[in-house]
Amino acid sequence: MMPTLADFGKDVWWIVLIKVLAVFVFLVVMTLFTIWYERRVVARMQVRPGPNRNGPFGLLQSLADGLKLAFKEDIMPLKADKVVFFIAPVISTICAFTAFAIMPFGPIVSLFGQKTPLQLTDIPVAVLLVLACSGLGIYGIVLSGWASGSTYPLLGGLRSSAQMISYEVAMGLSIVAVFMMSGTMSTSEIVKAQAESSQTTVPDVLGGWSFTTPNWYVVLLLPSFIIYAISAVGETNRAPFDLPEAESELVGGFHTEYSSLKFALFFLAEYINMVTVSGLAVTLFFGGWRFPGFGPEHAINQGWLPVLWFTIKLLIALFIFVWLRGTLPRLRYDQFMRFGWKVLIPANLVWIVVLAGIKTSQNTDNLLWAIIPVALLLLGALFWPSKKKAVEVPMEKQVAKRPAGSYPVPPIDLEVPVSPRARRITAEREVV
């Protein structure tokens, strides 16, 4: 059975505790595995072995690093605001854990004789809960930079606030298209809507099953998925958008002054956020926990097996994060902000208008309602006033326009003149 909103809020208290513990353990294990997974994949890209000492294939390396952080000295800067300095990593970690509470892992199953959905909880605006938690999690980064009493953490915290505002808007707009297609903001209902929108079953002669063609939103709403994927990388501060912790500019960014378990909490929050946005992408665009090609009534999508399909999809999405980190260089900050405001957001708005026109034409059986907004957008792009090219003024005219007694300021593209010593050496060589 596929769960709906009516199936939640009926569990006994000990089932709820088991679910909370299961989500907590799943996120911690996924964090430890993702750290090892990332180091092994990047090592493979760079033709080196990676972690391979602690445990089979180095699987216990992440656990060893976590224990090492726990036993390191906890340093408190003298100029730090001690209360805020302590609370900041806790805020980021709690928000990261809370956001995963509405992720659907599978259908309704029997747990110790109790029928319960494989999901902690669900609400009519569940997707907005994820956006709210990701927005509040940035406060931990901003407050950590401010409370450290140091310049570089403060700059990293300010960058995080600007980054959150820019890419949170693009991420929210990319999810609007999913709301328009499914007609709901509930994660379980969105998974159900993708199951119901599958194509007609095709009988399989060999096994006598019914094979359905997957009709996920990643196919129907490809522009929204591309924008969501880019925004998710920017929202989680991952390369090539890891500007708040750019070591080449800010030493370590917002967590420069942190050590021991406080630094480990920031590390944990970052990787849990990666798992959360990947899980949300699987839920919104890749059919959730359903195995592709089979309906929800098939045995492969029943019981506890869907947890495995959800985890496999999650790992594939996490591979994209690792792949980007191993291949792309870090952007400049002005390029990063310009891309968010001038490319992602306008493209998202245009796509939403086009989708609204298509949905209206489907409801009214009139293609004109879909053509009109597209035509208006094309005309606006065609007649939009272009930026005038700056006229180059010769250097002599620039010098002549200066007020009398002003200090001569060279232009930016002026070449550095040759030094007198270099000219003298060149003249002596020519004489010889």
- What is the number of domains present in the chain? 2
Pairwise CA distance, residues 18 & 23, whole Å:
9
Q: Establish if 295 belongs to a structural domain.
A: yes
Co-location of 152 and 285 in the same domain:
yes
Is 98 in contact with 130 (CB distance < 8 Å)?
no
Q: Establish if 52 belongs to a structural domain.
A: no
Pairwise CA distance, residues 317 & 282, whole Å:
8
Percentage with pLDDT > 90 across the chain: 25
Pairwise CA distance, residues 157 & 245, whole Å:
9
Q: Which two tokens stand for residue 84?
A: 């805020």
Kindly state the average pLDDT of the residues 125-148. Answer: 87
Kindly state the average pLDDT of the residues 297-320. Answer: 90
Residue 243 has pLDDT above 70, yes or no: yes
Residue 388 has pLDDT above 70, yes or no: no
Summary mean pLDDT of the chain:
82
Q: Establish if 343 belongs to a structural domain.
A: yes
Percentage with pLDDT > 70 across the chain: 84
Pairwise CA distance, residues 360 & 366, whole Å:
8
Co-location of 254 and 165 in the same domain:
yes
Q: How far is CA 343 from CA 69, 91, 281, in A?
A: 40, 31, 21
Residue 400 has pLDDT above 60, yes or no: yes
Residue with tokens 């450290």: 148
Nearest to 132 by CA among 99, 166, 169, 178: 99
Query: Which residues are CB-neighbours of 155 under 8 A, at least 6 positions away?
Result: 145, 250, 253
Pairwise CA distance, residues 293 & 282, whole Å:
15
Co-location of 323 and 341 in the same domain:
no
Co-location of 368 and 349 in the same domain:
yes
For 22-26, 66-70, 148-152, 295-299, which range has the lowest pLDDT when averaged over its residues?
295-299
Co-location of 158 and 92 in the same domain:
yes
**Is the dihedral angle over the CA atoms 344, 159, 135, 261 positive or is it negative?**
positive
Q: Among the residues of 384-419, which ranges form H helices?
A: 395-400
Within a 10 A sphere around the Cβ of 372, how many other Cβ atoms? 13
Co-location of 290 and 323 in the same domain:
yes
Q: Establish if 414 belongs to a structural domain.
A: no
Tell me what pLDDT residue 17 has.
94
Tell me what pLDDT residue 198 has.
47
Residue 33 has pLDDT above 90, yes or no: yes
Pairwise CA distance, residues 432 & 428, whole Å:
6
Co-location of 302 and 368 in the same domain:
no
Residue 319 has pLDDT above 80, yes or no: yes
Last residue of a domain, one of 301, 331, 361: 331
Domain of residue 100: give its range: 5-12+75-331
Residue positions counted in the chain:
432
Q: Establish if 277 belongs to a structural domain.
A: yes
Q: Establish if 350 belongs to a structural domain.
A: yes
Co-location of 241 and 373 in the same domain:
no
Kindly state the average pLDDT of the residues 250-256. Answer: 77
Q: Establish if 409 belongs to a structural domain.
A: no
Co-location of 299 and 372 in the same domain:
no
Kindly state the average pLDDT of the residues 314-337. Answer: 88
Pairwise CA distance, residues 88 & 213, whole Å:
47
Q: Establish if 20 belongs to a structural domain.
A: no
Co-location of 340 and 357 in the same domain:
yes
Co-location of 159 and 109 in the same domain:
yes
Instruction: Name beta bridge partners: 115.
Output: 110
Instruction: Name beta bridge partners: 117.
Output: 108
Global confidence as pTM: 0.81
Co-location of 311 and 370 in the same domain:
no
Residue type, position 293, single letter: G
Tell me what pLDDT residue 206 has.
46
Residue type, position 105, single letter: F
Within 13 A of 60's CA, how many CA atoms are on the CB side?
6
Instruction: Name beta bridge partners: 114.
Output: 111
Residue 150 has pLDDT above 90, yes or no: no
Nearest to 333 by CA among 266, 250, 225: 250
